[in-house]
Amino acid sequence: MESFTLARIIHVIAVILWIGGVAMVTTVIIPAVKKLKSKEEQIKTFEQLEGRFAIQSKITTLLTGLTGFYMLYELNAWDRYLDYKYWWIHAMTLVWILFTLILYILEPLVLHKLFKKYVKKNPSKTFSFMHKAHWALLLLSLLTTAGAVAGGHGWFFIK
């Protein structure tokens, strides 16, 4: 098996696990946590589940970035960043940068502290805000995925 094919396989599996996990957190975990009765139970449950998913997300976003840039390198496709019909490559890179910043920098240095501060004051408002943010990231990710699959098969939407 050639290295490019292996990179594509790893890339697709990593994206499935990463964005699928975001979908699970957004559509199942956060709504379930919001329904728990006590704020202590909400905080404990969310932190336990989110902490495990954060490890998976860090690994899968790292694999996604490494394999994605490797494939661009192997194809010598850097010029696609200069062609607007490849908007989905820009979108993939943007989504990857957003999640990488959140997972590796913002969450450990800023967001975790803010979450702890605000969830104790007003858990309902905090989880509601977090839920909306997850929905925005999920929808952006799904739009990007749809564009990447379409563009990867020659359907560019733009001529």
Residue-level pLDDT at 30: 94
Are 63 and 11 a contacting pair, CB within 8 Å? yes
pLDDT at 18 over 90: yes
Distance CA 128, CA 35 (A): 11
- How many separate domains does the chain show? 1
In a domain, residue 159? The reply is no
In a domain, residue 124? The reply is yes
- Report percent pLDDT > 90 for the chain: 81
Structure tokens at 58: 């860090």
In a domain, residue 158? The reply is no
What domain range includes position 124? 3-152
In a domain, residue 135? The reply is yes
In a domain, residue 108? The reply is yes
Span 33-82, pLDDT tens digits = 999 989 889 989 998 888 888 899 999 999 999 999 999 999 999 999 99
Residue-level pLDDT at 152: 84
Distance CA 116, CA 95 (A): 26
Residue-level pLDDT at 10: 98
The DSSP annotation for 13-34 comes to HHHHHHHHHHHHIIIIIHHHHH
In a domain, residue 157? The reply is no
Span 130-147, pLDDT tens digits = 999 999 999 999 999 999
In a domain, residue 13? The reply is yes
In a domain, residue 73? The reply is yes
Q: What is the mean pLDDT of residues 91-108?
A: 96
Residue-level pLDDT at 138: 97
Residue-level pLDDT at 39: 87
pLDDT at 23 over 90: yes
